[in-house]
A and B are shown apart, each in its own frame.
Chain A
Amino acid sequence: MNFETLIFYFLASIMLFAGLRVITVRHPIHAALYLVLAFFTAAGLWLMLEAEFLAITLVLVYIGAVMVLFLFVVMMLDLDLQRLRQGFWQSLPLAALVGGLMILEMVLVLGRKSFIPDFASMEPHHAADYSNTKELGRLLYTDYVYPFELAAVVLLIAIVAAIAITLRRRKNTKHQDPAEQVKVRRADRVRMVSMPSQKQSEE
């Protein structure tokens, strides 16, 4: 076992532990934090696979943005844990049965034959000046330009859908209309009233 394998098993065991805690821990905030840990170790694993750009993106985007947002949402929600857990014990036997069966099947399939691929045939390490980011960028804008454009369509759909579902105009809300505000002329707002000047009361 060389040093690299040692690091791999170190990171992988933390990741498995964190993943397990995500679903077993009681408090949702803790679960989210364990998920952050799992992402972080996954980023470490990706680094070992020489996918530096993806590893950094995972940390920046998923941990830095998505999970923080997620934490905010969890904190804002008034989660009633008691209600969420309702029916857990009733469904447990069936769930355990199905889960057990699936594990048994997987063991039967995997136990007989080797599931471990031939490592000798894996690609060798790249030279030190090999740029993962550059290669990724090249592929993304040449060979993968079609799925890349489609991903843009997915984002557009997300915007349209989010607005279509959430935006509604209530009839009686009071809101500002900047265009109207700008267009306003003096005549609309100020009314000149000519009043006869009052005579000074006689003393």
Chain B
Amino acid sequence: MAFAMPNLTPALPEIFVLTMASVVLMADLFSGKNRFVAYMLTQITLLGAAWLTVSTSGGEIVHTFSGMFVDDVMSDVLKLMTYIAVSAMLVYSRSYLQLRDLFRGEFFALVLFAMLGMMVMISANHFITLYMGLEILSLCLYSLVALQRDSAQATEAAMKYFVLGALASGLLLYGMSMIYGATGHLELDKVATAIQQGDGNRTILTFGLVFLVAGLAFKLGVVPFHMWIPDVYQGAPTAVTMFIGSAPKIAAFAFVVRLLSEGLPTLVHDWQGMLIILALLSMAIGNITAIAQTNLKRMLAYSTISHMGFLLLGVLSGNNGGYGASMFYVLVYVMMSLGAFGMIMLLSRQGFEAEKLEDFKGLNQRSPWHAFVMLLLMFSMAGVPPTVGFYAKLSVLNAALSAGFVWLAVAAVLFSVIGAFYYLRIIKLMYFDAPQDDSRIQAQPDMNLLLSMNGLGVLALGILPQPLMALCVYSIQHSL
């Protein structure tokens, strides 16, 4: 019956974020009409969490809470990137939210809670913790999508998201219970050792794995489990779409890597095959369907699907180099996605959503600098050198090649060439078409600065990708 108090130090960032989320809720209640207090508190929370994460990171793998929680280099790096992504999202969406009456305390509290869910997922070492983190994140996202209650589109998107998300959670739990039944363990490293020692019925394990991968695929939004992505991206307020399209992808990457490579590394030949199909279908359907879209948010949704396919290319190679490449890819993707949705919000005004492709016509004449930033972002998404998107694609392709999947790499290149069409179409609209609306582009200075940094960062990282890549490889090597 002896119970040792768990070591709370590694979990300090989580505890801090949870406390501050509650503080934001309370502070907003008493700060009257001034929502700026909640906004500033949220940004301070992110800063504090970053400080705590850095100061508690020791560089080695620390387990606590009876092995449910793990603090390693990968979790620290991914958490820091999550804070940056969330902070950037808040800066980008401030004036957008203010104009749409969504600049409310609950928005910030829910964002912080969602981030807590991501942190729990990133640091999970146990099936239950993984699942709890996922549920915390998903619940916040469902309600954020539905926050604009007068918009029928948003409500419908939230409903679809909720129903499909619940189904995916069910699949995941079913798969987890199968694996628990076969191995008798829920802790990821114990599951891995049990399977390695030949414990557990192989049939049950594979059966559970199928459900697990299906659930993961739902959450990542890869074909054929992608139906919710376009509707949710289009229906949700752009600020929320930006949130869904950025930081949670980092957590999803951690989820996949923890589950497959940490928990089930001996089943690599089983999940490799499944991931190949998912990756190939996502790159094909994502890129081809995106061409037919006229709504930019919907187009970016299909582009997400194809990017997630590319992400899987690195994971399915099943070695540390591949995971490192995928980690690099997801960080780069989050950066590009933040910039692209930031541009949509920049062009949006009161009562007007710049979500149609035509809204970008002649942007060069209206504001050459913003058009240039968008050009960089689109080049990067398409994978044109010297932007970082090229290097990210190259590294996951390398990982697939080194694992011996030459045909898969060739197919991936072909689909990314198809994908380049719709990214370049936006550039054509911006530079060679006449603008349809001549209203001046107004933006807060901080948003302008961040947008410029985002666009230039894509270029700078493309020229000097080595530091970030080295960081990714280092953190994977010292964590898995």
Report which A residues bind B (CB closer than 8 A).
106, 109-110, 113-115, 117-118, 138, 142-147, 150-151, 153-154, 156-158, 160-166, 168
Determine the main DSSP class of B at the interface with A. helix
The answer to whether A110 and B133 touch across the interface, beta carbons within 8 angstroms, is: no
CB distance from B69 to the nearest CB of A (A): 6
Cβ-closest chain B residue relative to A155: B139
When each residue 190-211 of chain B gets 1 if its CB lies under 8 Å from chain A and 0 otherwise, what string results? 0000000000011110110000
Known: A109-B206, A157-B136, A161-B110. 5 other contacts (CB 8 A): A117-B181, A147-B128, A154-B136, A160-B106, A165-B149
The answer to whether A163 and B106 touch across the interface, beta carbons within 8 angstroms, is: yes
The answer to whether A161 and B139 touch across the interface, beta carbons within 8 angstroms, is: yes
The answer to whether A150 and B120 touch across the interface, beta carbons within 8 angstroms, is: yes
When each residue 332-359 of chain B gets 1 if its CB lies under 8 Å from chain A and 0 otherwise, what string results? 0000000000000000000000000000
11 A-B pairs with C-beta separation under 8 A: A106-B207, A109-B203, A110-B207, A150-B132, A151-B132, A154-B139, A157-B136, A160-B106, A160-B113, A161-B139, A164-B106
The answer to whether A157 and B140 touch across the interface, beta carbons within 8 angstroms, is: yes
Within B285-330, which residues are at the interface with A (CB < 8 Å)?
none
CA distance A142 to B25 in the complex (A): 29
The answer to whether B68 and A146 touch across the interface, beta carbons within 8 angstroms, is: yes
Is B73's beta carbon under 8 Å from chain A? no
The answer to whether A113 and B68 touch across the interface, beta carbons within 8 angstroms, is: no
Residues on the A chain within 8 Å of B129, using CB: 146-147, 150
The answer to whether A153 and B116 touch across the interface, beta carbons within 8 angstroms, is: yes
Contact for B133 among A143, A144, A150, CB less than 8 A = A150
Residues on the A chain within 8 Å of B142, using CB: 161
The answer to whether A165 and B6 touch across the interface, beta carbons within 8 angstroms, is: no
The answer to whether B3 and A142 touch across the interface, beta carbons within 8 angstroms, is: yes
The answer to whether B132 and A154 touch across the interface, beta carbons within 8 angstroms, is: yes
CA distance A154 to B143 in the complex (A): 12
Residues on the B chain within 8 Å of A143, using CB: 66, 68
Residues on the B chain within 8 Å of A114, using CB: 201, 203
The answer to whether B136 and A117 touch across the interface, beta carbons within 8 angstroms, is: no
Report which B residues bind A (CB closer than 8 A).
1, 3, 6, 11, 18, 22, 25, 65-66, 68-69, 104, 106-107, 109-110, 113, 116, 120, 126, 128-129, 132-133, 135-136, 139-140, 142-143, 146-147, 149, 181-182, 201-204, 206-207
CA distance A161 to B3 in the complex (A): 35
The answer to whether B146 and A146 touch across the interface, beta carbons within 8 angstroms, is: no
Cβ-closest chain A residue relative to B106: A164
CA distance A114 to B133 in the complex (A): 35
CA distance A151 to B129 in the complex (A): 10
Cβ-closest chain B residue relative to A105: B210
Cβ-closest chain A residue relative to B64: A146
CA distance A144 to B11 in the complex (A): 15
CA distance A62 to B236 in the complex (A): 33
Residues on the A chain within 8 Å of B18, using CB: 153
Given contacts A115-B203, A153-B18, A154-B132, contact A146 B110 (CB under 8 A): no
The answer to whether B1 and A161 touch across the interface, beta carbons within 8 angstroms, is: no
CA distance A145 to B204 in the complex (A): 29
Cβ-closest chain A residue relative to B105: A164
Residues on the B chain within 8 Å of A165, using CB: 143, 146-147, 149
CB distance from B70 to the nearest CB of A (A): 11
The answer to whether A146 and B65 touch across the interface, beta carbons within 8 angstroms, is: yes
The answer to whether B128 and A144 touch across the interface, beta carbons within 8 angstroms, is: yes
CA distance A160 to B136 in the complex (A): 12
CA distance A91 to B17 in the complex (A): 46
Among A109, A118, A157, A165, which residue has the most Cβ atoms of chain B within 10 A? A157
Residues on the B chain within 8 Å of A142, using CB: 3, 66
CB distance from B269 to the nearest CB of A (A): 15
